[in-house]
Amino acid sequence: QMQLLESGGGLVQAGDSLRLSCAASGRTFSSYAMGWLGWFRQSPKKEREFVAAIRWSGDNSSYADSVKGRFTISRDNAKNTVDLQMNSLKPEDTAVYYCVGRVGPRLAITRAMYDYWGQGTQVTVSS
């Protein structure tokens, strides 16, 4: 089993930046041949949605259209962490952000495909 713990959420103003970090513990991806780490988010009036994901090897990443060009996902295999750098934040980015992980070679953008979830961290962007 893998445990994921997010940190870095908070209250910021529109246009500001924020960096989320997720620490993986337990059986991390170094134990698997392939895997993905990523982020989903959920706001009160929306379904939980895909934000970004990166292959554990670091050679492939993907972003939702709504964050492309503003958010950057990165991972540090030595530290077993995955970060989400969020720039030019907008009020519509306000949500609880969840760190996720899945085992397997293919990218997935649906929540059902992710095996591991963190507890979530709140990001609030004021206008």
DSSP string over 45-97: TS--EEEEEEETTSS-EEE-TTTTTTEEEEEETTTTEEEEEE-S--GGG-EEE
Query: What pLDDT does residue 34 have?
Result: 81
SS3 content of the chain, % helix, strand, coil (to 5): 5, 50, 40
Question: What's the count of helices (H) and strands (E) in the chain, helices before strands?
Answer: 0, 11
The SS3 of residue 29 is helix
24 near 37, Cβ under 8 Å?
yes
Q: Which residues pair with 66 in a beta bridge?
A: none
pLDDT attached to residue 56 = 86
Render each residue's pLDDT in the chain as its tens digit; 127 residues: 889 999 999 999 999 999 999 999 887 666 665 889 999 999 988 999 999 999 988 889 999 999 999 999 999 888 889 999 999 999 999 999 999 999 888 999 999 999 999 999 999 999 9
pLDDT for position 33? 59
Helix (H, G, I), strand (E, B) or coil at 30: helix
Please give the span between the terminal C-alpha atoms of the chain, in angstroms, as a whole number: 40
Res 30: pLDDT: 64
pLDDT at 7: 95
Q: How is residue 21 written in tokens?
A: 């970090």
- Run of H or E including 107: none
